[in-house]
């Protein structure tokens, strides 16, 4: 397999029987590639823990904001028992309402947001245990 | 003709309107928020006026500021695009007061069609079929409960001021009824400041088929056939096509004439769309269709109609607004070939379609025969969190449906968008799904298949991708210019210098 840099993010990859153009852009560790409708992020090559819902030692789980958003409704309070899939918080971003759900059964340990609040990406909204 | 049109919108539709103005020799005025100071529509227009901060309520939804911008630039008309203020009768009314032409229907028509209950009763009296249901005088919980029981379960509780699925709840059992009524009312009050509810019988797994209509100021009302818009997730359209593979010629005749009747009953003017729910026929029976709502504006998916009917709806809108009679008669219009549109959203299908924001590090629109791309972005642009995540629309037109599907898949496979997660792979997975290819997709399809489709979009990482990523890593370490091509490109460095 040989690779030629055609410039402007285009790479010609020549396999035994096939030529393809792969588009690549980004900075070290945060590169993106595109081939024939498929998008690959560099961090997929060596999958690590998911950023969205990091598990912590002791069986705790944080529910975090996936993006800058406004909190519309908080449906749980500390001590609430929740089942996997239950909606904990409803946020709104880019005109869309989005329910954030419990990744597994558990008890709400703490709530760190209230309706109307603007939250930043990865801010912990609800702690589960 | 109009001399100067203010475009009260952003993104791809603003670009579309500005280009149409240019073709017709009409000057265009763009408006923008602080988040859009460097947006494509701003650079493209003849003039541009800042409205205010990024928040839509202080910019694209601020009627006073938009009217002021039109006055200060001596515009003689305002085109609202879709979304934002396009279906707010207050903008159209403010235009009238300010002596400006509103490119759309008269404001009382917008107001009447905006009330789902009023629109329903108007259609019923005009003989257009509506979904069996009831809009009770008694708006108490008990009153709505009684209405739901008369209509029969399963039913939909809907907000009169509703749209986009807000203020709507499906009820299957009488135990869930009270909760559904309260939730729908709460949502409707929050979103529209109007908690008026009505009840409709639930049409199971319907098709969503709409008819484009156009009416001029001289009494002519014509239709431009149907669009099939059943590929939806959470009531948001993703893929649209025309002709509908589900609609027979006789059903088409009935639906298009009902749409013209509806537009006449509404006293409509300019471009509008009548949305219908179509219920699959029972054994030996004919398919039933029901009026759902009227959209008193241009639709996102208007390009597929333009492709198949061979007209320019933006030109027609501007001509009608100026008072010119419609340039075509009904008999002159026909459907030729097949067109499909795919909406490219900055969103993550694998994570519940969460909208994405960031920089378009690499963005190359496909160019090939029969492909049209309407977009409001270019490489290097920033997609912000403040507005709708629609990046672009890719429209394929071909001789028949199979070819249009192939063409659209080929275009999406040749449309690299990097730096922000998009739904491109998800769209390809839908277009390749046997049920879509069979033309047999109802509005429940996508919500049922989302997980499978999102998974189908992923798979083994091709060896060529790994090889190219390696090559890029070697190149950037050698040249120490992160993210750029190793060979020096005057255009990319110029872009970097001017944009950032």
CA distance B97 to B110: 16
What are the chain B neighbours of A93 within 8 Å (beta carbons)?
354-355, 385
Task: Quote the ipTM score.
Answer: 0.88
Chain mean position to CA B150: 34
pLDDT > 80? residue A60:
no
Q: In this predicted structure, what is the pLDDT of residue B458?
A: 74
Most distant CA atoms of chain A, gap in Å: 61
Domains and CATH numbers, chain B: 4-103 (3.40.50.20), 132-201 (3.30.1490.20), 207-457 (3.30.470.20), 464-499 (no CATH)
- The partner residue sitting opposite B464, judged by closest CB among A9, A20, A67, is A20
Which residues of chain A approach chain B closer than 8 Å at the C-beta?
1, 3, 5, 7-11, 13, 15, 20, 22-28, 31-40, 42, 44-45, 52, 66-69, 72, 93-99
SS3 of B182, please? helix
Helix (H, G, I), strand (E, B) or coil at A127: strand
Q: What is the DSSP letter of B398?
A: E
Per-residue pLDDT, A55: 44
% of chain B surpassing 70 pLDDT: 95
By CB neighbour count within 10 A (0-12 exposed, 13-18 middle, 19+ buried), where does B253 fall? exposed
| pLDDT, tens digit, 9 for 90 and up, residues B249-258 | 999 999 999 9
User: In this predicted structure, which of B135-149, B187-201, B318-332, B428-442 has the lowest mean pLDDT?
Assistant: B187-201
Residue of B nearest to A38 (CA): B425
Burial (Cβ within 10 Å: 0-12, 13-18, ≥19) of residue B413: middle
Alpha-carbon distance A20 to nearest alpha carbon in chain B (angstroms): 8
Percent helix, strand and coil across chain B, each rounded to 5?
40, 25, 35
Task: Decide if B387 and A95 are in contact by the 8 Å CB cutoff.
Answer: yes
Q: What pLDDT score does B477 carry?
A: 56
Residue B490 pLDDT > 70: no
* Nearest residue, CB atoms, A7 vs list B425, B461, B487: B487
**Facing B352 at nearest CB: one of A1, A44, A98:** A98
Give me the pLDDT at residue B413, please: 97
pLDDT in tens, B222-237: 999 999 999 998 788 9
Q: Which helix (H) or strand (E) holds B143?
A: helix B141-151
Is A111 within 8 Å of A126 (Cβ atoms)?
Answer: yes
Q: Which residue has tokens 């460095």?
A: B493
Helices B63-72, B89-97: inter-axial angle, 10-degree rounding: 40
Model pLDDT, residue B476: 67
> Mean pLDDT in chain A?
84
Q: What is the pLDDT of residues B426-470, one digit of tens each?
A: 999 999 999 999 999 999 999 899 888 888 777 789 999 999 999
Q: Give residue A14's pLDDT.
A: 94
Burial of B269 (0-12, 13-18, 19+ CB in 10 A): buried
CA distances from residue B39 to B12, B61, B207, B354 in whole angstroms, order as listed: 10, 18, 36, 23
CA-CA distance, B185 to B436, in Å (whole number)? 35
CA angle B182, B187, B192 (to 5 degrees): 130
Q: Do B362 and A34 touch (CB under 8 A)?
A: yes
d(CA B200, CA B329): 36
pLDDT of B206 over the 70 cut: yes
Domains in chain A, CATH or no CATH each: 2-44 (no CATH), 55-128 (2.40.50.100)
Are B465 and A68 inside 8 Å of each other by CB?
Answer: no
Peptide bond between residue B154 and the one before it cis (omega within 30 degrees of 0) = yes
pLDDT at B191: 80
The burial class, CB within 10 Å (0-12 / 13-18 / 19+), for B236 is middle
Work out the mean pLDDT of chain B and round it to a whole number: 92
What token pair was written down for B408? Answer: 């659209």
C-alpha closest to that of B102 among B254, B298, B241, B311 = B298
Q: Which residues of A touch B351 (CB under 8 A)?
A: 52, 66
């Amino acid at each position: 397999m040989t690779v030629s840099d055609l410039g402007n993010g285009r790479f010609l990859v020549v396999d035994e029987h096939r030529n393809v153009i792969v588009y690549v852009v980004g900075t070290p560790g945060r590169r993106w590639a595109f081939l024939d409708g498929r998008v690959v992020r560099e961090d997929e090559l060596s999958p690590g823990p998911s950023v969205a819902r990091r598990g912590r030692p002791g069986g705790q789980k944080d529910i975090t904001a996936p993006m800058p958003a406004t909190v519309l409704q908080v449906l749980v309070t500390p001590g609430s028992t929740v089942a996997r899939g239950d909606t904990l918080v409803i946020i709104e971003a880019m005109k869309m309402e989005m329910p954030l759900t419990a990744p597994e059964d558990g008890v709400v340990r703490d709530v760190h947001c209230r309706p109307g609040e603007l939250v930043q990406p990865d801010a912990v909204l609800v702690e589960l245990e | 003709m109009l001399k100067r049109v203010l475009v009260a919108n952003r993104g791809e539709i603003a670009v579309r309107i500005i280009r149409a103005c240019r073709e017709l020799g009409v000057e265009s005025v763009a408006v923008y928020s602080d988040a859009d100071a460097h947006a494509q529509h701003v650079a493209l227009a003849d003039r541009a006026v800042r409205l205010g901060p990024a928040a839509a309520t202080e910019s694209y939804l601020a009627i006073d500021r938009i009217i002021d911008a039109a006055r200060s630039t001596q515009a003689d008309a305002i085109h609202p695009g879709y979304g934002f203020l396009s279906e707010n009768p207050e903008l159209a009314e403010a235009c009238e007061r300010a002596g400006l032409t509103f490119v759309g229907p008269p404001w009382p028509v917008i107001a009447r069609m905006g009330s789902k209950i009023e629109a329903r009763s108007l259609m019923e009296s005009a003989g257009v079929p509506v979904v069996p249901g009831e809009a009770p005088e008694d708006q108490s919980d008990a009153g709505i409960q009684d209405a739901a029981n008369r209509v029969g379960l399963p039913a939909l509780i809907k907000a009169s001021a509703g749209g986009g699925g807000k203020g709507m709840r499906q009820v299957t059992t009488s135990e869930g009824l009270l909760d559904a009524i309260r939730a729908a009312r709460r949502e409707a009050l929050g979103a529209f400041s109007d908690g008026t509810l009505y009840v409709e019988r639930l049409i199971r797994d319907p098709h969503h088929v709409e008819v484009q209509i156009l009416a001029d100021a001289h009494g002519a009302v014509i239709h431009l056939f149907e669009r099939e818009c059943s590929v939806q997730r959470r009531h948001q359209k993703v893929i649209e096509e025309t002709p509908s593979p589900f609609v027979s010629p006789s059903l088409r005749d009935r639906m298009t004439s009902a749409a013209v009747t509806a537009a006449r009953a509404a006293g409509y003017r300019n471009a509008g769309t009548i949305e219908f729910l179509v219920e699959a026929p029972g054994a030996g029976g004919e398919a039933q269709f029901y009026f759902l709502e009227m959209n008193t504006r241009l639709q996102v998916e208007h390009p597929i109609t333009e492709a198949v009917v061979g007209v320019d709806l933006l030109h027609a809108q501007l001509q009608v607004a100026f008072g010119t009679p419609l340039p075509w008669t009904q008999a002159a219009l026909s459907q030729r070939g097949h067109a499909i549109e795919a909406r490219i959203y900055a969103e993550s299908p694998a994570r519940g379609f969460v909208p994405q924001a960031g920089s378009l590090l690499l963005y190359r629109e496909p160019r090939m025969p029969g492909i049209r791309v309407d977009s409001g972005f270019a490489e290097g642009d920033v997609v912000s969190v403040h507005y709708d995540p629609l990046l672009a629309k890719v429209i394929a037109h071909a001789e028949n449906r199979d070819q249009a599907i192939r063409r659209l898949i080929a275009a999406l496979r040749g449309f690299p968008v990097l730096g922000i997660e998009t739904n491109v792979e998800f769209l390809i997975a839908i277009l390749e799904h046997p049920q879509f290819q069979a033309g047999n997709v109802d509005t429940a399809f996508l919500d049922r298949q989302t997980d499978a489709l999102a998974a189908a979009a992923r798979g083994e990482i091709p060896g060529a991708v790994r090889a190219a990523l390696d090559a890029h890593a070697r190149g950037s370490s050698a040249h120490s210019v992160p993210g750029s091509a190793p060979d020096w490109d005057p255009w990319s460095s110029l872009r970097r210098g001017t944009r950032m």
